[in-house]
Structure 1
């Protein structure tokens, strides 16, 4: 399947690589299919790219590599929607806001992306926890 992307141009992806967001993303309700794409020479970050709109793409990362004490409980609606049966079923990523200079970039810890690894569904879950910030610094010492 050919898709037009924001950062990689026109690329071929396998349909089995598509992640389905049944309810879209907050603010992007119509965007329900995404691909996770690598960033050349950067293993810390990836691109969450819409398969339908080239301009809808987000830089994402594993929040556990950025903040040591990050933890939250997945709510029942998310468990039900994604059909999560055990912790090993999921992968958690978070959206970054990239800035110049890079040291001013932030990660959204208040709305993690939950990926169900076995059925390729995902959801951005909004936390009701004021311990984590929408704009948490990703610079060293941002913990």
Structure 2
């Protein structure tokens, strides 16, 4: 399968590389298939590229590596949609907004993307937790809990 990408031109894919988003991605609900593409020379970030629309490409990274205090509970609708049985079935990525200098880049901690590794299903889950920001500066501390403030 050949797709046109925003950053890499034409890319040849195997069907095993496809991630299906049954409900699409917020803002792009009609986009149901994506692929994760590596960024050469950068092991921290990847591109989540739509297989149907060239211009829909998001830079993503592991929020647990970028924000050490990050944690959240996966809600029941996401567990059911992705058919999650155990924690080992999943990995999580966050959408980044890269800036220059890199330290001023942000990651969306309010809407992590949960991937089911064996089912090849994914969902961007919107959190109802004000502990983390939509535009969290990489390396900064999360907002304190109301109880801690």
Distance, in Å, in 2 between the alignment partners of 1:118 and 1:48 is: 18
Query: Which residue of structure 2 lines up, in the alignment, with residue 126 of structure 1?
Result: 126
Match of 1:142 among 123, 140, 143: 140
Query: Which residue of structure 2 lines up, in the alignment, with residue 108 of structure 1?
Result: 108
Unaligned ranges ≥5, structure 2: 142-149
Distance, in Å, in 1 between the alignment partners of 2:137 and 2:69 is: 14
In the TM superposition, what is the alpha-carbon distance from 1:132 to its structure 2 partner? 0.4
TM-score, L = length of structure 1: 0.96
Question: Superposition RMSD on alpha carbons, in Å?
Answer: 0.8
- SS at 1:131's partner residue? coil
TM-score, L = length of structure 2: 0.92
Q: Which runs of 4+ in 1 moved over 3 A?
A: none
Query: Which residue of structure 1 lines up, in the alignment, with residue 52 of structure 2?
Result: 52
Deviates more, 1:95-104 or 1:47-56: 95-104
In the TM superposition, what is the alpha-carbon distance from 1:117 to its structure 2 partner? 0.4
> Which aligned pairs between 1:1-143 and structure 2 lie closer than 5 A?
1-138=1-138, 141-143=139-141
